Structure 1
Amino acid sequence: MYLCTCKSVSDQQIRQAVEQGARGFGDLSVRFGVGIECGKCVDGINALLQECLNAVAPPVPVPAEATPAPIPATATPATTLKEVAPARAWFAIDL
Structure 2
Amino acid sequence: MYVCLCVGVTDRDIANAVSDGARSWREVRETTGCAGQCGKCACTGKSVMREAISQELTMDLDLAYAV
- Would you say same fold, with TM above 0.5? yes
Name 2:52's counterpart in structure 1. Answer: 52
Q: Identity of paired residues, percent?
A: 30
Cα distance in 2 for residues equivalent to 1:30 and 1:52: 17
Secondary structure of the equivalent of 1:3? strand
Amino acid at match of 1:34: C
By relative contact order (CA 8 Å, sep 6+), the higher-ranking structure is: 2
Larger Rg: 1
Cα RMSD after superposing both structures? 1.6
The total of aligned residue pairs comes to: 60
TM-score when scaled to structure 1? 0.57
* Structure 2: runs of 5 or more not aligned: 62-67
Name 2:9's counterpart in structure 1. Answer: 9
String of CA shifts for 1:33-88, please: whole Å, max 9, x gaps: 2212111110000001111111112767xxxxxxxxxxxxxxxxxxxxxxxxxxxx
Name 1:31's counterpart in structure 2. Answer: 31
Cα distance in 1 for residues equivalent to 2:6 and 2:57: 31
Name 1:84's counterpart in structure 2. Answer: none
Cα distance in 2 for residues equivalent to 1:31 and 1:2: 16
* Structure 1: runs of 5 or more not aligned: 61-95
Displacement, 1:15?
A: 0.7
Structure with a larger share of its residues in helix: 2
**Residue 42 (1) aligns with residue 42 (2):** yes
Secondary structure of the equivalent of 2:7? coil
